[in-house]
Amino acid sequence: MNRNQKERDYSPEELREERQYGVFWYSWLWTALRPLLLALCVAVVVAGVVMAGWNWVDRSFFAPVDAEDHDEITFVVSSGSSLTRVANNLEEAGLIHNRTVFKYVADFLGYGQKIQSGEYKVSRNMTMQQIMELLTTGDGNPITRNITIIPGWTVRDIGAYLTEQKVIENDTEFLSLCQRGTSFSAYYYIADVLSSPNAASRLFALEGYLAPDTYEIYTTATAEDVIRKLLSQTEAVFNEEYHARAEALGMTMDQVITMASMIEKEAKNPDFAKVSAVFHNRLKKNMTLGSDVTVKYVSGVKRMALTDSDLQIASPYNTYLVKGLPLGPICSPSSAAIRAALYPDEQYVQDEYLYFCSKDPNTGELHFSRTLQEHELAVSIYAPLWQAYDREKGL
């Protein structure tokens, strides 16, 4: 049926009503859809503007400076460089578009505090974020390293260790600096050592003051840098409490460090305070300290069983011949040994223990005696063990 036939089936009134209904329906649909169509058109326009704007921002700030340039440029971030300095250098090298944008974006994304010093290979085809990420990875060449100084080490031991670890090329300069000590007179305790009587007779002015600990140092550190690091730790360890206690005992810091160095060499930690008590008791009685470790320090002997000739070596360090403390420290004492020197075992002080000897060379266990007779008996029992130990070690 065609349209004309359909129209002939309706009366004029019905046809008019049908047409009016269609006009109404189309009008209502247009009214409803028109805002949506307008919103869609606006969204398309806005999206286009935003996309065009973002493309401009990206090209101007974030995108590679030259996407076709793959040549690598060596870029160096120096130790201690600020984010501003890094951003300035990147822009000057032509690796980013804008230093200010780089700085603020790096801060916002959390890269600012993660950038590491080092030497990097950067190209102009890298985006700004790729460069940021690269600068936080490091170049594989660390700028710091750790060293560990062991309690009981002497200046010579420390010099050998630093050389072995390639911290220094050789120990010549290190030993010379430690022997003279004059480069470190700004440290009050070293100034006291240098101004003390017979200071020139010490093997090393800095012996005992290179505090044992684990340290982080720069890979470029010199012998002098390392020494200053260790000396500063001694100041931190020997705090105000220790100064007050030393004064109460009538001892100087140098005397405390000296006794502590002997304690460190003579005993293991559990016996530190007991050995300290023996030394304090002998000093009160004006006896020689008779410490084997002071003889070994000056002679270089490693044997447990010392001979009569060993004990007769003429030296202000030989506490078998010289009353009181030796001329100076004989090693770097631990903080525990320093504390023991200041706080001897009270019971052993009261009971007036005056002697000790090695009970087991392998474990470091000691035997303590009050009287010379008790001590000589102990020596007769344990001396064979010392001699066997020396033979076993080839000493």
Q: Which two tokens stand for residue 121?
A: 């290979």
- pLDDT tens for residues 219-233? 889 999 999 999 999
Torsion-angle region of residue 219: left (phi > 0), alpha (psi -120 to 50) or beta? alpha
Mark out the alpha helices in 218-322 (DSSP H runs): 223-237, 240-249, 253-266, 272-284, 292-299, 308-311
User: Which tops the pLDDT comparison, 265 or 46?
Assistant: 265
Q: What's the CA gap between 338 and 353, in Å, rounded?
A: 20
- pLDDT band at residue 19, thresholds of 50, 70 and 90? low
Looking at residues 70-97, what average pLDDT do you find?
A: 88
Q: What's the CA gap between 125 and 217, in Å, rounded?
A: 36
Report the DSSP beta bridge partners of residue 213: 149
Q: Indicate whether 24 pLDDT > 50.
A: yes
User: Which tops the pLDDT comparison, 68 or 319?
Assistant: 319
Q: What's the CA gap between 371 and 354, in Å, rounded?
A: 7
Q: Which amino acid is at 126?
A: M
Q: What's the CA gap between 307 and 381, in Å, rounded?
A: 17
The torsion angles phi and psi of 148, rounded to 5 degrees, stand at -125, 120
Determine the pLDDT at residue 220: 87
- pLDDT tens for residues 298-309? 999 999 999 999
Task: Name the DSSP letter for residue 57.
Answer: H
Complete DSSP assignment for 46-79 = HHHHHHHHHHHHIIIIIS-S-TT---EEEEEE-T
How many other CB atoms sit within 10 Å of the CB of residue 26?
Answer: 10
User: What Rg value do the Cα atoms of the chain yield, rounded?
Assistant: 41
Report the DSSP beta bridge partners of residue 357: 367
CATH 1.10.3470 fits 144-236, yes or no: no
Determine the pLDDT at residue 205: 97
pTM beyond 0.85:
no
Q: Indicate whether 4 pLDDT > 50.
A: no
Q: Indicate whether 335 pLDDT > 80.
A: yes
- pLDDT band at residue 147, thresholds of 50, 70 and 90? very high
CATH 3.30.1490.480 fits 72-135, yes or no: yes
Q: What's the CA gap between 163 and 149, in Å, rounded?
A: 13
Q: What's the CA gap between 272 and 255, in Å, rounded?
A: 16
Determine the pLDDT at residue 104: 85
Determine the pLDDT at residue 53: 60
CB 342 within 8 A of CB 242: yes
Q: What's the CA gap between 168 and 193, in Å, rounded?
A: 26
Determine the pLDDT at residue 5: 47
Report the DSSP beta bridge partners of residue 77: 118
**Short-list 68, 180, 165, 198, CA closest to 124:** 68
Most confident of 67-76, 86-95, 195-204, 331-340: 331-340
Q: Indicate whether 317 pLDDT > 60.
A: yes
Q: What's the CA gap between 306 and 41, in Å, rounded?
A: 102
- pLDDT tens for residues 86-136? 989 999 999 998 988 888 888 888 887 788 888 888 999 999 889 988 888
Q: Indicate whether 161 pLDDT > 50.
A: yes
- pLDDT band at residue 43, thresholds of 50, 70 and 90? low
In the predicted model, what is the mean pLDDT of the chain? 88
- Quote the percentage of the chain above a pLDDT of 90: 64
Q: Indicate whether 154 pLDDT > 80.
A: yes
Q: Indicate whether 17 pLDDT > 90.
A: no
How many other CB atoms sit within 10 Å of the CB of residue 169?
Answer: 11
Q: Which two tokens stand for residue 33?
A: 């859809």
User: Which residues make Cβ contacts (< 8 Å) with residue 315, sequence separation at least 6?
Assistant: 298, 299, 321, 327
User: Which tops the pLDDT comparison, 71 or 350?
Assistant: 350
Q: Is 316 exposed, middle or buried (0-12, 13-18, 19+ CB in 10 A)?
A: middle
- Quote the percentage of the chain above a pLDDT of 70: 85
Q: Indicate whether 40 pLDDT > 70.
A: yes
Q: What's the CA gap between 269 and 261, in Å, rounded?
A: 13
User: Which residues make Cβ contacts (< 8 Å) with residue 337, sequence separation at least 6?
Assistant: 151, 260, 261, 263, 264, 272
CB 127 within 8 A of CB 57: no
Determine the pLDDT at residue 108: 86
Q: Indicate whether 284 pLDDT > 90.
A: yes
**Short-list 362, 333, 324, 208, CA closest to 272:** 333
Q: Residue 13 to residues 2, 16, 200: CA-CA distances in angstroms?
A: 20, 5, 133
Q: Which two tokens stand for residue 252?
A: 């100087």
Looking at residues 22-31, what average pLDDT do you find?
A: 62
- pLDDT band at residue 61, thresholds of 50, 70 and 90? low
